[in-house]
């Protein structure tokens, strides 16, 4: 497993939305969705909350590989990883408490229905310039 560099964690936490890419196993049909309920668990793990995954959830069940992309004026990165979906148990309840409280503070009547832990396999710089596409972790 790769460790998420500090500058990547800082940008991940700063951007409001990330792009989450999955693919089906049989025909490798890609799917992307935007995720705002996101959290770095530790240097090797990211959690994304599931409120509206449909095609994404089908892909997660078929193929455990995923990619995340996020950027702003400070930089751009891609994270590749291996997923594990949860919708019950202590791990899920801990994350659901955070997600549900956040939605409640926003005045939005949405509850977490599941989530995906992504264990980081690699991190890439995707900002323009000579280091674009360079693996950094």
The percentage of the chain sitting over the pLDDT mark of 70, rounded to a whole number, equals 100
Report residue 107 as tokens: 């005045």
pLDDT in tens, 57-112: 999 999 999 999 999 999 999 999 999 999 999 999 999 999 999 999 999 999 99
Among the listed residues 136, 123, 133, 126, the one whose alpha carbon sits nearest the alpha carbon of residue 46: 123
| Per-residue pLDDT tens over the stretch 114-125 | 999 999 999 999
């Amino acid at each position: 497993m790769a460790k998420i560099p500090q500058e990547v964690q800082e940008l991940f936490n700063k951007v409001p939305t990330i792009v989450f890419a999955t693919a089906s196993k049989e025909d490798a049909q890609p799917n992307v969705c935007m995720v705002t309920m996101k959290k770095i668990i530790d240097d090797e793990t990211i959690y994304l909350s599931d409120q509206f995954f449909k095609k994404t959830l089908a892909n997660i069940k078929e193929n455990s590989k995923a990619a995340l992309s996020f950027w702003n004026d400070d930089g751009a990165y891609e994270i590749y990883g291996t997923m594990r979906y949860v919708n019950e148990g202590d791990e899920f309840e801990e994350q659901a408490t955070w997600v549900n409280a956040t939605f409640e503070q926003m005045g939005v009547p949405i509850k977490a229905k599941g989530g995906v832990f992504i264990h980081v396999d690699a991190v890439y710089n995707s900002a323009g310039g000579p280091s674009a596409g360079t693996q950094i972790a």
